[in-house]
Chain A
Amino acid sequence: MSGATTPSRDARLGGTSLDAAIVRATQAGLPRVPRPYLAVAERIGVAESLVIERMRAMLETGAIRRIGAVPNHYRLGWVANGMSVWDVDDGRVDELGARVGALDGVTHCYRRPRRLPAWPYNLFAMVHGRTRAEVEAQVARIVALLGGAARAHEVLYSTRVLKKTGLRFS
Chain B
Amino acid sequence: MSVATDERARPAAGPDARLADPVDRAVVNALHGGFPLCERPYAEVAQALGLTEDDLIARIDRLLADGTLTRFGPLFDAERMGGAFTLAAMSVPAPEFDRIAEIVNGFPEVAHNYARTHALNLWFVVATATRSGIDDAIARIEAATGLPVLSFPKEREYFVELRLPA
Chain A: residues with CB nearer than 8 A to chain B?
1, 8-9, 11-15, 23, 26-30, 32-38, 48, 52, 55-56, 58-59, 61-73, 75-79, 83, 94, 97-98, 100-102, 104-113, 115, 118-119, 124, 128-131, 134, 154, 156-167, 169
How many A-B residue pairs have C-beta atoms within 8 angstroms? Tell me: 267
Pairs A-B, 10 closest by C-beta atoms? A77-B17, A101-B159, A66-B33, A30-B73, A130-B13, A101-B158, A12-B82, A69-B31, A163-B113, A112-B152
Q: Which of the residues B72, B112, B113 comes within 8 Å of A68, measured between beta carbons?
A: B72
Interface: B162 (CB within 8 A)? yes
What's the nearest-Cβ distance from chain A to residue B57, in Å?
5
In the complex formed, the residue of B with least CB distance to A66 is: B33
> When the two chains form their complex, are residues A167 and B78 in contact, meaning their CB atoms are under 8 A apart?
yes
Q: In the bound complex, how far is the Cα of B112 from the Cα of A110, in angstroms?
A: 17
Query: 14 new A-B pairs (CB below 8 Å) besides A33-B57, A70-B71?
Result: A37-B41, A83-B123, A94-B158, A105-B8, A107-B159, A108-B162, A109-B160, A111-B154, A134-B13, A159-B115, A161-B114, A162-B101, A169-B78, A169-B129
- Highest count of chain A CB atoms <10 Å: which of B8, B9, B38, B53: B9
**Would you give 25 A-B contacts (Cβ < 8 Å), ordered by A?**
A27-B76, A34-B53, A34-B57, A37-B39, A58-B74, A59-B74, A64-B74, A68-B34, A68-B35, A68-B75, A69-B32, A69-B71, A72-B69, A73-B162, A75-B67, A76-B17, A104-B8, A110-B156, A111-B154, A112-B155, A163-B105, A163-B111, A165-B111, A165-B112, A169-B129
What's the nearest-Cβ distance from chain A to residue B34, in Å?
7
> When the two chains form their complex, are residues B114 and A160 in contact, meaning their CB atoms are under 8 A apart?
yes
Chain A binding surface SS class: mixed
Q: In the bound complex, how far is the Cα of B113 from the Cα of A165, in angstroms?
A: 9
Residues of the A chain whose Cβ atoms lie less than 8 Å from the Cβ of B141: none
Chain B: residues with CB nearer than 8 A to chain A?
2, 7-13, 16-19, 28, 31-35, 37-43, 53, 57, 60-61, 63-64, 67-78, 80-83, 87, 101, 104-105, 110-118, 120, 122-124, 127, 129, 150, 152-166
In the complex formed, the residue of B with least CB distance to A154 is: B118
In the complex where A77-B18, A130-B17 touch, is A63 in contact with B81 (Cβ < 8 A)? yes
> When the two chains form their complex, are residues B71 and A38 in contact, meaning their CB atoms are under 8 A apart?
no
Residues of the A chain whose Cβ atoms lie less than 8 Å from the Cβ of B67: 72, 75
Residues of the B chain whose Cβ atoms lie less than 8 Å from the Cβ of A119: 120, 150, 152
In the complex formed, the residue of A with least CB distance to B148 is: A118
Residues of the B chain whose Cβ atoms lie less than 8 Å from the Cβ of A130: 11-13, 17
> When the two chains form their complex, are residues A157 and B78 in contact, meaning their CB atoms are under 8 A apart?
no
> When the two chains form their complex, are residues A63 and B77 in contact, meaning their CB atoms are under 8 A apart?
yes
